[in-house]
Chain A
Amino acid sequence: INLICINRLSMDGDSSTTDASQLGITGEYMPSSHYVLQSQDDDGEENLNDHEDGGIKENYREQDIYLPIANVARIMKNAVPQTGKIAKDAKECVQECVSEFISFITSEASERCHQEKRKTINGEDILFAMSTLGFDMYVDPLKLYLQKFREAMKGEKGMPGVAVGESLGEELTDDSFTNPLPAGIITADGQQQNVMVYTTTSYQQIPTVQQIQFS
């Protein structure tokens, strides 16, 4: 199937393709005859889906992992004016966009990480990726959130340096979020783990090596 650029279709004076009332979903999806995939001028952006042909879209998508639609829908609902409605296919679509966004950021962050010969993606990588990919408006609010998050962890836990079974940065589960983050950790058997030291800005001083004794 040839990829047709939608822009050209809409510029040839035939307004029906961009008129919202003309955009419709037929009863069944017939991939190659129904969708027209937009061919972008290559802007170098990484896309997780390599489209081998137009029809593959449905098959690929089923394997993707999404965030729960209820959560996504709730955030959307709170973002638009209170009386606003949201179409069901819009919710589903944003759900997909979210996974795309996460992958987009992660790939970029991962690349930077590898370039610097590190194995663990850290906060700095994520923030840098956002900046690079056009989301720099998120960076400052995110730094604030992170600061509050770390303060809350430290404060609520009280005692720093709870032993974790494995080194930081690997296979974090939700439980791990309850543990504060000293830069060095000693496990119960007294061995010090190697830990990546990540973003330190003025809000928190973290010594690069912190000895913690467990009796």
Chain B
Amino acid sequence: MQNGVNFTKKNISLPISRVRLIMKSSPDVSSINQDALFLTTKATELFVQHLALSSFNNGSGKETNSLSYSDLATTAEETETFHFLTDILPKKILARDYLKSLEQMQEEEGDF
């Protein structure tokens, strides 16, 4: 390995080649220059920190001192920046509660 890698290894904790793979899986992406790749990788680190900490503080984490899935789902819903995640972070509810609520809504609204 050559010298330049020393900087990147110390300062990036995510595999760049994998980031590139994910980027290339987007439609219509032909090529990505080195800066773009570096920036995306670095931004991803910032994103993970941001999401984890926001969710931890936002949710029940502060009392329980732990981060759970529902903290993430809550944050995605309540924080505008993370709204794009709501489709992959559905709030989980028990099936029977869902069906009960569905019935209630149908009653309230007439036809559904």
Interface size class of B (residues with CB under 8 A): 35 or more
Say whether A178 contacts B4, CB under 8 Å. Answer: yes
Say whether A152 contacts B7, CB under 8 Å. Answer: yes
Contacting B at CB under 8 A, from A168-194, are: 168-181
Closest to B87 in A: A47
Q: From the candidates B7, B34, B77, B87, name the one contacting A176 in the complex (CB within 8 A).
A: B34
Task: Report how far A100 CA is from B46 CA in the complex, Å.
Answer: 14
Residues on A with beta carbons closer than 8 Å to the beta carbon of B20: 172
Q: From the candidates B3, B42, B89, name the one contacting A178 in the complex (CB within 8 A).
A: B3
Residues in chain A within 8 A of chain B (CB atoms): 2, 4, 6-9, 12, 14, 16-18, 20, 22-26, 30, 33-38, 40, 43, 45, 47-49, 51, 65-68, 71-72, 74-76, 78-81, 83-87, 89-90, 93-94, 96-107, 109-110, 114, 119-123, 125-127, 130, 133-135, 138, 141-142, 145-146, 148-149, 152-153, 156-157, 168-181, 196, 198-199
Task: Report how far A150 CA is from B93 CA in the complex, Å.
Answer: 48
Q: A38-B90, A71-B15, A87-B69 are in contact. Are A168 and B34 (CB under 8 A)?
A: yes
Say whether A177 contacts B16, CB under 8 Å. Answer: yes
Residues in chain B within 8 A of chain A (CB atoms): 1-8, 11, 13-23, 25-40, 42-53, 55-56, 60-61, 65-72, 77, 80-81, 83-95, 97-98, 100-102, 104-105, 108, 112
Chain B interface SS verdict (over half):
helix
A-B Cβ contacts below 8 A, count: 298
Known: A75-B52, A119-B31. 5 other contacts (CB 8 A): A9-B105, A26-B95, A75-B48, A79-B53, A80-B52
